[in-house]
Structures are given as C-alpha cells and as structure tokens.
Chain A
Amino acid sequence: MSVEDVLSRGAHLLTVEVRLLWAVGILYMVAAILSLYGLITATHRSGRMPHAILGFTLILHTGVILLRIFETGRAPFQTLYESLSWFSFTSAVTYLFVSKRWRRVGLPCFFVTLIASCAIFYALLGRSPEAKPLSPPLQSWWFEWHVVVAFSSYAVFVVSSAFEATYLIAKRLLKTRDYALGLAPEELKPFRTMATKLVIFGFPMLTFGIFSGAAWANEAWGRYWGWDPKETWSLITWTVFAMYLHAQSVPRWRENVASTLNLLGFVCMIMTFLGVNWLSKLLGIPSLHAYAV
C-alpha cells in the first residue's frame, strides 16, 4: 500500500483509528479496575498506577481524536460515535486536572474511568464509525461551539458527581471510622467544595451550550426553541443544576438536598446525552436531534 493510499482518507485510516479507540477503551477500563483494587485493598500506592495509566491513555486518545480530524477534515463531533469519544476524553482530562490534590482518593477515578470506558465501548459496539459528510444544517459555526461547549460541560458534571458521590459515601463511613476512601474527616469539606466548584465552572458552559443551540436552530430552521425532547432535557439538566446552586444558599439544604440535586443533575445529563434518543425512539417521539444518532 502506497503512502498516497494510506493518506487518501480511505478505510485503512479508519481501521487504525477504530483499533486505537479499542485500546483506549480497554486502558480506561484497566484504570477503573486498578482504582477499584486500590479501594478494596486500601493501599495508597495502588492509587498512583490508575493515574499513570490514565495519563498515558489520554495521550493515546488525543492521537485518536487528531486522526479523526485528519480523516474527516472537520471538528470530530458530528455523530454520536464521535461525541461519545469526545465526552470520555474531556471527562478524563477534567478529572486528571482537578484530582491533583486528591490522588489517593480512588473512588472518583473509578467512576470517571468506568464512565469513560463505557462511553467508548458503546461507541464501538453500538454505533458506526462512518465519517459521513456534514449535512447542510450542521455546517454552522454555532454547531461546533454548541457541541464542544455542551459536551465539555457534561464532562465537568460527570467529575463533579463522582466527587459528590464519593463525599456522600465517605461522610457515611466516617461516622464509624477515622479514615475512609482516602479521606480524613477534616478533608471532607474541601473535597466537597471541589464538586461545587466544578458545577460553578460547568454551569455557564451548559448555559452557553443551550444558548448556542438555540442560536443555531434559529439560523438553520428559523425557530430558536421547539420544545424538542432533547432541547427540553437539556433545559431539565440546566434547571436541576440551577436548583443545586440555589440550594447552596439555603443553609438547611446545603448538605443532603444539594448533594442529591448534583447527582440528579448527572442522571438528567445522561438522559440528555443518550436517553432522549432512546426515549424518543421508544415512544415514537419525533426529534430534530435524531440525525445525530
């Protein structure tokens, strides 16, 4: 095979890309298993390995995304296959960035890498990697920003909910112990603050995601809001996180109510991302977003 053949954007590059993505999915899963092992054996040293693997996987994953950009000649977010890959990439990057102070706390690493690997395997086993040309409505500046910002906010919320869930479990365990899940009682508050900070960071991004989606719909179809199920679910997610941020201002709701809302926001986000298409198909609800499947 000549160099021209390889670079002719044919199936050879796609085969390489798909195989590399399999490797990425497997490595995320290995990081998740090692995090779990660290949790079970409660050895701090075992916490370093998942982070090292995660760092290496991210380098590989960056390569896969760059390869995809080279193959398609556009930003890699058009299909659900591409979006899932981007979602797991941004989740892992966000986690690695914010977890510097909390390397010995293995549970958030387990949650994030598990979700990242599940997203990759769903992309590989459930979707097609075919790189179709962009359909006319997707050829918009708003589209790229809408998807990249919305999915980045989802990634931030995934990491936030992983921290929140760890906080809730550790808080319960610390009632009977002096040390749980790599956390001492006095570390609980700053650990939980990280979950709140992530929501504060992700919320304006989600706001822009919805705003840019409306602007794009207005330019493409002449209607900025159509109560389409995907639009509505993104609004549900936004509203739940708005409730979370407001609950932080009410002293009695700052603890359990706010934590529950953060986790509920995560569920709604998953519904926006994957559930809407499934729900729309199941109930026969027409959705403009169906083309993204």
Chain B
Amino acid sequence: MRRAENIKRRVYRWFSSIKTSVYLFALLVVFYFIGTIFPQGADIERYAEAGGRFVEAVRLFGFLDIFHTPLFYLVAVLLLINLSVCTWDRFQRVRKRAWRESPDVERRLSLALSYRETEELLEEFIKKQRFRLISRDEDTLTAEKGIYYRYLTLLYHAGIVLCFAGFFLTGLFVKEGLLILKQGEPTPIESQMMPEVRGWLAPEEPPQFKIQLDEFRTEYILSRKLNYPEDGLSRLAIALGWQDITYTEEERFYPKDWFSKLRILVNGSTALEKTIEVNDPLRFEGYTFYQVGFEEKLKLKINDKVFTISTGRKKNIEELGKTLIFTGFRKGTLFKPDGTVEQIRPFVTLKELKEDGTRITLGRLHLGESMEIDGKSLRFEGFEETSILSYRYDPGVGLLWYAGFFVFAVMSLRCLGRWYMLRFRIDEDEGGKTILTVAIHCRGLMADSQRVSALLNTHLERYVRR
C-alpha cells in the first residue's frame, strides 16, 4: 500500500516537473528533425530504388511517416499528460499563492512616523498608484497591480491543452480529398485523384449533397521578363553603375486568380451558390471546398487525325516525327501594366523537345488557328477545362483556432503586460519610530521595479531618517 502510494507520488512528481517537459520537448525535436530529413509519405521501395540510405532502419522505425508512428504518438501523449498535470499542479499552488517570490528590489527604511501613521501613508500610496490591497496581516501589507502573471501562465498552458483537443478531434473525424469538376455535372463528394484521408471515427458514407461547377475562369497579369545577370561579377557591375537592369521584350502571363462558380445541390435543388477563389473557400454542412487548381485538355488536329493532350505534357507526334510540349495555355482576362484589361484569345505555346533534352520554342498557337511545322498543319481545335477542388470535413479546426488565438493573446499579455506586488513590513522602532521593509516584485517586459521604487521614495521622502 505504502509502496503503491510512493510510486503514485513519484509518477505525479515526474509528470508535474518542468524538467520532464524539457526532456519531452527534446525528444519531439528529434522526431521533427528526422521528419525534415526523410521524405515524408514516400514509398519505402521507391526510397530504396532511389538509392536511399539506412533502408532497414527507415523501414523498422517508419522514418518515411514518422509523424504517424506509435513512438511519436507516445511522446505527444506523454507531453499532453505532462502539460495537463503541470497546469493542474500549478493551479493548486497559484490558488493558495504557495510560491516564494524573490523580490526584484528590497529596501529597509527608517521612518520618523508612528506605526499607525506609516500604515496610513502606505495605504495612501497604494490608493494613489492604483494598487489593490490583497492582504493585511499583523505587521505586513501586501498590494498588487496588474493580472497575477501565474494565472496568465496557467491560462495559456490550459489553452495549449485545448489546442491538443482540437488536434485530437481532427485525428478522429477528419475527411479530406480532391474533386475534379466538369462544367454542368453534379458531382458527389468522393475523392477522385487520391484516396480519401479519413480519421479513425469519420463516417465512410459521402454526404447527401452534390456539388456542381457552373463556370470556371482565370485571370492573368501581363509582365515582362527581367534581364538580370546570374553571375556575381555582372551584378557587381550593376552596383558600380557600369550596367543597368532592363526588361526584355518577352511577355509573361502571371496567374492573378482562378474562380469557380459553384452550386450545392440537395436532392437536385440548389441549396447554396458561391464563386470561390484561392483563399476564399465555400463552406456547407461542416465541409469546406477549396480552389486548389485547374486542368486543361487540348484538342488538336494534324492530317485529319484528332488527339487530346493535357497542358504541360509532351507528346510524340508521329506525323511530324517530333516530340512536342504544349505549355502555358492561357485564356481568360488579362490585366496589362498600363491599366487596361482585355480578353485573351486562347493560345498554347508549342515547344519542340530535342533528343539532347533541349527545348526550342516554336511559337504560340491560337484557338481555331493552325501552325505549319515541316510543311504539315497542326490545328488547335478546342479545349476542355476542369476545376480541381480539395474538400475537408474537420470538426476540430474551430476549437483549434479559438484555442490558438487565446494562447497567443494570453501569452502576449503574460510576456508584455505588467504585474507588480508590493510587500511592506512595518516594525516599531525605539522612540515611537518605525522600520519599514519594502519588497517589490514585478513581472512582464513593461514592468519597471526601479520606477515603482522611485515613486515610493518620493512619497516617503519627507519622513525618512538619514
């Protein structure tokens, strides 16, 4: 029985120790470091094929998915227990104020005043400086100003525990996947390009509603390529004024934004409509839909033979005996540097891939037009566009945001705010005089114990016996 009590006390002491927190933090750092060295989510066979090192150790310890290994979870859970126990333990002590604070300034003064007069003078100072009298013992006065910093420390540690709760909810209920939407086609919420990421308790069935793309559009900004040298010496020449930086005549179309006009359908009728863009998702029944990208398939014709190809891909065109790359498909609205806006005549840039890997730009091929290559005509017939959305169902994220903001706000208040505690001990001296012992405690970057000491000096100045 006594042994069990002993073990219990030891375990509690271990979990409520700050040293334990530091050791657990150090262990986490090791995991994090491994996670930045080894490619996370990679396949072990491919890793081995690519010449990866320590293959057996990597396989054994799960280094390619280190943040989902039992060992990592164990350390995270131990840290959570440590954090909770520490917070609880400190709460008990803070409630009882069972801390021995070492003062930042301590002084002893002899005053030409009686005990009662000294007490009144100190009360006047406490009131004038807006301190709160928190205790009055036989010969001691204690006053405080600001929020007791240990409460703030407790609060933001409790906030971190809430953040962990948010992560935990995410781990249990999260659903995440990708959708490819074609214009006008109602699509169920089932991941298409990758298997759906699902939490341990997330429902397997997709939601009852469907999503439909009504319109997809893109916007571009026209800019020119900067002629800036790569080598250090030429850059130094610019610094010395021997060369200037210039822009080339080569035009560049930088993506400005992508928009998807979406419609949520419940039993065939519209429940919600919204045009989303990157950084502005659509939310419906706990699901959030994000604009992550788009894909175009081009329809081209050569010698009456029609073929389709995705942009950015290379294709060996037998009729030409060449490998072509179709890059930089552009359509939509163009914003020009002079402030004007125009609609882009859809075009794709054609490049020839040589056997030695070099790429030669053949030019732009506009929609409905042809390009002569080695006497043969390549025509751009049309294109098909799809919008790529990611979706996520995550009931933990709300708690995480509120708790995270709370942690930041309270932590800032704790670090920057001011807290003072004054402790006065009055001892009667011979001849009706008093000896005053002043202890000034302060915390927070804005707190200044010397200033409070100087204010007290000014207040008591007339009565101090030299």
Query: Are the C-beta atoms of A11 and B25 separated by less than 8 Å?
Result: no
- Cross-chain contact of A246 among B22, B239, B411 (Cβ < 8 A): B22
A-B contact pairs, 27 of them (CB 8 A): A14-B245, A125-B232, A129-B226, A133-B221, A136-B255, A136-B277, A137-B278, A137-B279, A139-B278, A200-B415, A203-B415, A207-B407, A211-B408, A222-B281, A222-B288, A222-B390, A223-B390, A224-B400, A227-B35, A227-B40, A235-B32, A243-B22, A243-B29, A247-B22, A276-B36, A279-B37, A286-B39
Residues on B facing A (Cβ under 8 Å): 18-19, 21-22, 25-26, 28-29, 32-33, 35-37, 39-40, 67, 176, 221, 223, 226-228, 232, 235, 238-239, 241, 244-247, 254-258, 277-281, 288, 290, 292, 337, 390-392, 397, 400-401, 404-405, 407-408, 411-412, 415-416, 445
Is A229 engaged at the interface, CB distance under 8 Å to the other chain?
Answer: yes
The residue of chain B having its C-beta at the shortest distance from the C-beta of A202 within the complex is B415
Query: Are the C-beta atoms of B415 and A15 separated by less than 8 Å?
Result: no
How far apart sit A22 and B288, CA to CA, in the bound complex (Å)? 47
Query: Are the C-beta atoms of A204 and B411 separated by less than 8 Å?
Result: yes
- Cross-chain contact of B18 among A8, A130, A132, A249 (Cβ < 8 A): A249
Greatest chain B CB density within 10 A among A11, A12, A215 is at A11
Q: Using Cβ atoms and an 8 Å threshold, which residues of chain B touch A283? A: 37, 39
For the complex with contacts A132-B254, A137-B278, A221-B290, 6 further pairs of A-B residues with Cβ separation under 8 Å are A137-B279, A139-B278, A201-B415, A203-B411, A207-B407, A246-B21
Query: Are the C-beta atoms of A204 and B415 separated by less than 8 Å?
Result: yes
Query: Are the C-beta atoms of B254 and A133 separated by less than 8 Å?
Result: yes
- Cross-chain contact of A201 among B221, B258, B281, B416 (Cβ < 8 A): B416
Query: Are the C-beta atoms of A135 and B390 separated by less than 8 Å?
Result: no
Query: Are the C-beta atoms of B235 and A279 separated by less than 8 Å?
Result: no
Query: Are the C-beta atoms of B392 and A222 separated by less than 8 Å?
Result: yes
A263 to chain B, nearest CB (A): 15
Is A172 engaged at the interface, CB distance under 8 Å to the other chain?
Answer: no
Is A43 engaged at the interface, CB distance under 8 Å to the other chain?
Answer: no
Q: How large is the interface on A (under 10, 10 to 19, 20 to 34, 35 or more residues)?
A: 35 or more
How far apart sit A222 and B401, CA to CA, in the bound complex (Å)? 14
Q: Which 10 A-B pairs have the closest CB atoms?
A: A136-B278, A222-B290, A22-B239, A130-B226, A133-B221, A229-B36, A204-B412, A133-B254, A140-B279, A222-B390
Q: Using Cβ atoms and an 8 Å threshold, which residues of chain B touch A139? A: 257, 278-279
Query: Are the C-beta atoms of A128 and B228 separated by less than 8 Å?
Result: yes
* Contacts A247-B22, A250-B19, A279-B36; A19 near B238 (Cβ below 8 A): yes
B206 to chain A, nearest CB (A): 17
How far apart sit A1 and B247, CA to CA, in the bound complex (Å)? 16
Q: Using Cβ atoms and an 8 Å threshold, which residues of chain B touch A11? A: 226-227, 244-247
Query: Are the C-beta atoms of A15 and B223 separated by less than 8 Å?
Result: no
Q: Which of A9-36 contact B (CB under 8 A)?
A: 9-12, 14-15, 18-19, 22
How far apart sit A254 and B8, CA to CA, in the bound complex (Å)? 29
How far apart sit A283 and B400, CA to CA, in the bound complex (Å)? 33
How far apart sit A242 and B445, CA to CA, in the bound complex (Å)? 17
Is A52 engaged at the interface, CB distance under 8 Å to the other chain?
Answer: no
A208 to chain B, nearest CB (A): 5
Q: Using Cβ atoms and an 8 Å threshold, which residues of chain A touch B19? A: 250, 253
Is A232 engaged at the interface, CB distance under 8 Å to the other chain?
Answer: yes
Greatest chain B CB density within 10 A among A224, A235, A253 is at A224
Query: Are the C-beta atoms of B290 and A204 separated by less than 8 Å?
Result: no
Query: Are the C-beta atoms of A211 and B405 separated by less than 8 Å?
Result: yes
- Cross-chain contact of A18 among B245, B288, B391 (Cβ < 8 A): B245
How far apart sit A240 and B221, CA to CA, in the bound complex (Å)? 42
Query: Are the C-beta atoms of B18 and A224 separated by less than 8 Å?
Result: no
Q: Using Cβ atoms and an 8 Å threshold, which residues of chain B touch A214? A: 404
Q: Using Cβ atoms and an 8 Å threshold, which residues of chain B touch A148? A: none
A246 to chain B, nearest CB (A): 5
Is A239 engaged at the interface, CB distance under 8 Å to the other chain?
Answer: yes
Query: Are the C-beta atoms of A239 and B36 separated by less than 8 Å?
Result: no
Query: Are the C-beta atoms of A15 and B36 separated by less than 8 Å?
Result: no
How far apart sit A240 and B26, CA to CA, in the bound complex (Å)? 8
Query: Are the C-beta atoms of B254 and A135 separated by less than 8 Å?
Result: yes
B231 to chain A, nearest CB (A): 9
Q: Which of A175-229 contact B (CB under 8 A)?
A: 197, 200-201, 203-204, 207-208, 211, 214-215, 218-224, 227, 229
Q: Using Cβ atoms and an 8 Å threshold, which residues of chain A touch B281? A: 219, 222
Q: Using Cβ atoms and an 8 Å threshold, which residues of chain A touch B227? A: 11
Is A6 engaged at the interface, CB distance under 8 Å to the other chain?
Answer: no
A240 to chain B, nearest CB (A): 7
How far apart sit A8 and B338, CA to CA, in the bound complex (Å)? 9
Q: Using Cβ atoms and an 8 Å threshold, which residues of chain B touch A200? A: 415, 445
The residue of chain A having its C-beta at the shortest distance from the C-beta of B34 within the complex is A232
Query: Are the C-beta atoms of B278 and A220 separated by less than 8 Å?
Result: yes
Is A95 engaged at the interface, CB distance under 8 Å to the other chain?
Answer: no
How far apart sit A139 and B278, CA to CA, in the bound complex (Å)? 8
- Cross-chain contact of A222 among B22, B292, B416 (Cβ < 8 A): B292
Greatest chain A CB density within 10 A among B22, B28, B416 is at B22
The residue of chain B having its C-beta at the shortest distance from the C-beta of A240 within the complex is B29
The residue of chain B having its C-beta at the shortest distance from the C-beta of A264 within the complex is B29
Is A270 engaged at the interface, CB distance under 8 Å to the other chain?
Answer: no
How far apart sit A50 and B396, CA to CA, in the bound complex (Å)? 52
Query: Are the C-beta atoms of B28 and A239 separated by less than 8 Å?
Result: yes
Is A236 engaged at the interface, CB distance under 8 Å to the other chain?
Answer: yes
Is A285 engaged at the interface, CB distance under 8 Å to the other chain?
Answer: yes
Is A124 engaged at the interface, CB distance under 8 Å to the other chain?
Answer: yes
Query: Are the C-beta atoms of B445 and A197 separated by less than 8 Å?
Result: yes
Q: Using Cβ atoms and an 8 Å threshold, which residues of chain A touch B407? A: 207, 211
